[in-house]
Amino acid sequence: MKVCPKCNQTYTDENLNFCLNDGEFLMQKADDAPPTILMNEPRVTNQTKWQTPPYQPPATWQNQPQGMQNQQFGSSLMVNKQDQTLPIVSLVLGVLSWILICCYGGFWLGIPAVIVGYLGMVNADKNPNRYTGKGMAIAGMIIGGVSLLAAIVILILGVIGNLGR
């Protein structure tokens, strides 16, 4: 079967190539319907063996914690990840200031270690649900402060040693 793309006239004559109304070139009509597939009848199985028992809700757990008794299905039980960025930065700066104390790293890294450690400790005190790492912040403050004091002592001893010459 052929069809005219301009006027949509259909022709059954396969030898005809042009539309008799407007002279347009005829196109082969495409059958858009997918082929029909015939399947065999389904197998009969033992129905009593595979029948599901009637639905029974699961038994409740007797020792549930108080906060979990009225939880709705699908509600989130996950706790947001707590932030430890400032305490980690303080500890890293404190350790680096102690390692680089001979190159005056105690000044340039010890002071930020003390400041960032203090900020991390204050955050952990104000909002412990969101911020943690108070121990790391204190350790960073102590190591940074000790390296700062050691750098000051080394500087003073260096100045005194140069004055004696």
Give the CA-trace dihedral at 92, 93, 97, 99, to 10 degrees: 20
Q: How many angstroms separate the CA atoms of 144 and 86, rounded?
A: 14
What tokens appear for 46 in the block? Answer: 């033992």
Q: How many angstroms separate the CA atoms of 149 and 92, rounded?
A: 18
Angle between helix 134-163 and 105-126 (nearest 10): 160
Q: How many angstroms separate the CA atoms of 150 and 158, rounded?
A: 12
What pLDDT, in 10s, does the model give residues 96-151?
A: 988 888 776 678 899 999 999 999 999 999 988 889 899 999 999 999 999 989 98
Q: Assess whether pLDDT exceeds 60 at residue 89.
A: yes
Band of residue 69 on the pLDDT scale cut at 50, 70, 90: low
